[in-house]
Chain A
Amino acid sequence: MSSKPTTLFDKVWDAHVVRDIQDGPDVFLIDRHFIHEVTSPVAFLGLKNRNVSVMFPERTFATADHNTPTINQHLPVQDPLSANQLKALEENTSKHGISHWGLGNPKNGIVHVVGPENGITLPGMTIVCGDSHTSTHGAFGCIAFGIGTSEVEMVLASQCIMQPKPKKMRINVNGEMHKGVTAKDVVLYIISKLTAAGATGYFVEYAGSVFESMSMEGRMTVCNMSIEMGARGGMIAPDETTFNYIKGREKAPTGQAWDDALAYWKTLKTDEGATFDIEYNYDGAEIEPMITYGTNPGMGMGITELIPSAEDIDAGKASFAKSLQYMGFHEKEPMLGKKIDYVFIGSCTNGRIEDFRAFASIVKGRKKADNVTAWVVPGSHVVEAQIREEGIYDILIEAGFELRQPGCSACLAMNDDKIPAGKYAVSTSNRNFEGRQGPGARTLLASPLVAAAAAVTGQVTDPRTLIA
């Protein structure tokens, strides 16, 4: 057999094109659809107005996460608008026969945490959700991306969306990573090089030894932030690490079906000689723990560096100045030593068990700084249970932290977890936009290790100085 060398992306994409519209998008089949309480109600309203039913209810999964409280989840939700959205999700899923893991359900959690955790996410799938961080699922070799509410309605009605095929980008990172450098640092580094719009119009494949040696949690962190450089999504070829993660999860195939699936999954890689529209190469040894200083995720730097000037990074002067003014920072000053007020560990970017292990590794035997308010928010109840089972909970409590209940929380501050105006938060989430974590809040994006170092010292600190 000698067929043309093909990329992983093309293999998965081409298998899902129902119809190729001339001078238009592809009619693209969606294998799994995740929905949540915020971007789905208007889609269901649209179905109702059209008098259309859900085409394949068993291919859609619902969880409540975006505006749920992270304390006292057993009590009725206080905010009437949030309560109303949760009720709408419950009613809509019940009416259409869609699986729903609402508040209080042991499987509840952040959509991009619970999907993989329960074996819903499998290699070679196409996955969408009305949430831009759907790119997370690309860690399994899926084509996964965020969509708007009109598209949520399309998928409910027809299991398809209309998508022009994106261009292809490959980002290769090879070399030995230093101690204290995590998946989050790798992706913040890449975005700082490519800028917040540098991958717009592209679908990214991450390749090279750095990703091959990463855990699934790390790969999810990387793929999660693909959207922060504008990419439609990002993916990593599945391998033994992927298969081992999936095996035994609730909705993963078993028996003969597992063997068949595995045989297929092993074909999901970019062939030797396949070409991309653009490729970038980075050296993993060049990456140090990262932190952001501005108001988009592309405004990141190595933690020991100085804040650049607009000229250094070829940014628009007015926008760059506006950004630094919002943050209360100046060009050419260090980030190390800056006093911080809040620490948030959690979110679909860094709310998995490995992230809390990393956080605890620095917190252990130390105390939370008095000037810091810390929100420790697991990505799901399963993660929460692991935190307790592994003794991480005891380490946190001993150090003066408390553990909250799962949800998106301060990542987007839809619930009560808002950083007050003017305050600085070191956050393991994905966006440092103006007001993202609350009106006037100032966000410094970083890894769980950098967040832990900030939490125990009360300032921006290089975690490598705290690692034994």
Chain B
Amino acid sequence: MAYDKFTVLKSTAVPLPIENVDTDQIIPARFLKATKREGFGDNLFRDWRYNGDDTPKADFVLNNSIYSGKILVGGKNFGSGSSREHAAWAIYDYGFRCVVSSFFADIFKNNSMNIGILPVQVSDAFLHKIFSAIEADPNTELEVNLPEQTITILATGESESFDINGYKKHNLVNGFDDIDYLQAMREEIVAFAQKSRY
């Protein structure tokens, strides 16, 4: 799927300092019944965000208007559990373009990059600094620079570099996806597959 190119993102951030945020929390299974990729943002963090009668839960961060932005900052082991790409779709559809954590679950990380969300893995110490900075001032801006592979807390100038493989970085910066690449090597794949054991 085509998505927006990702280069430098400067934005305030929404803090969610909870560990092991699993994809069932990001989007509960009962909201996976669509056959199109639209509207999942409405149910992002549904059961943390709304009561059973659909009234907003005042103490959940997405219902607190002092926090906003295109960057979601989560606790360690973000995106564990189910492989549902709907979790990444919901995050994207809500308006986030980047998720920061000190540790990501594998499948969520792949799913995110495949739809144009940048997962930025930072150290535990830097994650703590980000949470502290947002707590001190919800208007704190972060700058995520993909070409340079850095994330900076603009108010303090503190910065850390992050890893991403060159192939995925190239894709995100240019808005390419894997299927474009795979289609271009179609003959090579067919030849390989036809002589494979299964």
Contacts and interface: CB of A to CB of B under 8 A. Distances in A.
Interface of A: 15-16, 18-19, 21-25, 27, 29, 31-32, 38-39, 41-42, 45-46, 50, 52, 55-56, 59, 66-67, 79, 81-82, 84-85, 88, 122, 124-125, 130-132, 146-151, 153-154, 157-162, 164, 166, 196-197, 200-201, 227, 230, 232, 264, 295-296, 315-316, 318-319, 322, 412-414, 418, 421, 431, 433-436, 439-440
B1 interface: yes
Given A25-B168, A81-B33, 10 more contacts: A41-B36, A46-B179, A84-B33, A147-B107, A159-B193, A197-B76, A230-B77, A412-B29, A435-B24, A439-B47
Contacts of A27: 182, 185, 189
A428 B107 CA distance: 24
B106 A232 contact: yes
Given A296-B20, A435-B28, A159 B189 contact: yes
18 contacts: A19-B185, A23-B166, A24-B168, A25-B165, A41-B36, A42-B37, A46-B1, A84-B33, A130-B85, A132-B82, A132-B83, A148-B85, A148-B110, A154-B182, A162-B178, A316-B76, A412-B29, A440-B52
B143 interface: no
Contacts of A148: 83-85, 88, 107, 110-111, 114
Task: Choose among A22, A322, A439 the residue with the greatest number of B CB atoms under 10 Å from its CB.
Answer: A439
B30 A414 contact: yes
A31 B196 CA distance: 9
Contacts of A197: 20, 76-77, 80, 103, 105
A88 B20 contact: no
B177 interface: yes
B66 interface: no
Nearest to A122: B198
Contacts of B29: 66, 412-414, 436
A421 B52 contact: yes
A435 B23 CA distance: 11
Interface residues on B, range: 35 or more
A150 B103 contact: no
Given A132-B81, A154-B178, A196-B77, A45 B185 contact: no
B188 interface: yes
B183 A158 contact: yes
A203 to B, nearest CB: 10
Interface-centre pick from A82, A132, A431 (highest chain B CB count, 10 A): A132
Interface string B80-104: 1111111010000000000000011
A88 B35 contact: yes
Contacts of A29: 189, 192-193, 196
B130 to A, nearest CB: 16
A435 B25 contact: yes
Contacts of B105: 197, 200, 230
Contacts of A132: 81-83, 107
Given A85-B35, A148-B110, A150-B114, A164 B165 contact: yes
B22 A150 contact: no
Nearest to A22: B166
Contacts of A230: 77, 80, 105-106
A434 B25 contact: yes
Contacts of A39: 32, 83-85
A146 B83 contact: yes
Given A149-B85, A151-B114, A319-B19, A264 B197 contact: yes
Interface in B112-126: 114-115
A436 B23 CA distance: 10
Contacts of B136: none
B182 A158 contact: yes
A67 B33 contact: yes
Interface in B168-198: 168, 177-179, 181-183, 185-186, 188-190, 192-193, 196-198
Nearest to A418: B30
Nearest to B104: A200
B36 A42 contact: yes
B198 A125 contact: yes
B54 to A, nearest CB: 11
Nearest to A231: B106
A55 B189 contact: yes
B102 to A, nearest CB: 10
Nearest to A232: B106
Contacts of A131: 82-83
Contacts of B17: 318
Contact of B166 (A24, A319, A412): A24
A19 B168 CA distance: 16
Contacts of A433: 22, 24-25, 81
A319 B18 contact: yes
Contacts of B22: 296, 431, 433
B75 interface: yes
A31 B193 CA distance: 8
A38 B31 CA distance: 10
Contact of A160 (B25, B107, B165, B182): B182
A140 to B, nearest CB: 12
A315 to B, nearest CB: 8
B19 to A, nearest CB: 4
The 5 A-B residue pairs whose C-beta atoms are closest, nearest first, are A24-B167, A23-B166, A148-B85, A81-B33, A148-B111
A56 B186 CA distance: 12
B47 A435 contact: yes
Nearest to A50: B179
A90 to B, nearest CB: 12
A27 to B, nearest CB: 7
B190 A146 contact: no
A157 B183 contact: yes
Nearest to A79: B33
Contacts of B166: 22-24
Contacts of B115: 150
Nearest to A31: B198
B170 to A, nearest CB: 8
